[in-house]
Amino acid sequence: MKTFRVSELGKQPTLTALSALPLQPGHARVDIRACGLNFADLLMTKGRYQDTPETPFSLGMEPAGIVTELGPETGGLAVGTRVVVFSGKDGLADEGVFPADRCLPLPDNMSFEDAAAFQITYGTSHMALDYKARLQPGETLLVLGAAGGVGLTAVEIGKVMGARVIACARGADKLEICKKAGADHMIDSTSEDIREVVKALGGADVVYDAVGGEQGEAAFRATNPDGRFLYIGFASGDMPNLKPNHMLVKNITTIGFYWGGYLKFNADVLTDSLRQLLTWYAEGKIHPHVSHTLPLEQAEDALELLRSRKSTGKVVVTMGPNS
């Protein structure tokens, strides 16, 4: 098998040939056809991600492919089933062995490319907005980093949930993508004052902050009384400096959210969320946006697209026919 492997933290991952992995009870062997990339993959190479595995390991948190073999005492799947897997690692390979309970069957109309672009971004936004923030129809949702991997799904899901969505992103091209995803209002973070624009639009009831830093601080100051502020990530490299006394006076709830963490204490809520999302996909309500698709041999180029912020939506690495 070929795999894109991290042998030492801080060093360049390399495409490596390995022997096929043994098949354990409760596991499935998957012929991987595509794998989505995430900002967490970049952090893992430096050991800066909260769930960085011990070296050596292969990158790739969300592969999709076909079950080719089942281990002993493994139920719930059949050989030949098309699946998406939340693996946490080892997805950037042409084959993998994963716990069967991490494998979800795909709708018939879902390609491997869309499946690989789906789980973490849509799962993060759906659980953050629904399970944590309790976003209601008619409320105003402000999304920072709205053209990014998770941000664009927050725009889509916010609209499916009946919210008015304000999308904040860098530049006209990225804002146009947000508009196509359903955003009602757009803010160019390179030239407009986020706080002033949002306040002029009536303020935000829910803020989805995947950026942090000054943008997060400006969004917090435009949050309405009794609003909810979701910490999703800090793509800017800085955490927003939010004032607790302002939270108190305005009765604002701040919520930290890490999708993968639920695997450790409430995996059922993740599975239920993904099933709802797959149903919405099958019904045509959500449409993953993949800006770049590259083969496994160009995995480093794919990571560079994330590193340089040249992508919108998702970057997907492919290993075989996408069908």
User: pLDDT at residue 48 above 90?
Assistant: no
Phi and psi of 132, rounded to 5°? -95, -55
* DSSP state string for 49-113: STTPPPSSEE--SEEEEEEEEE-TT--S--TT-EEEE--SS--SBSEEEEEGGGEEEPPTT--HH
**Single pTM value for the model:** 0.86
Q: Which fold has domain 121-260?
A: Rossmann fold (3.40.50)
pLDDT at 149: 85
pLDDT band at 313 (very low <50, low <70, confident <90, very high): confident
Average pLDDT over residues 283-311: 93
Domain limits, the chain: 2-118+289-318, 121-260
Cβ pair 30, 68 in contact under 8 A: yes
User: pLDDT at residue 320 above 80?
Assistant: no
Answer CATH for 2-118+289-318 from 3.40.50.300, 3.30.565.10, 3.90.180.10, 3.40.630.70: 3.90.180.10
pLDDT at 23: 95
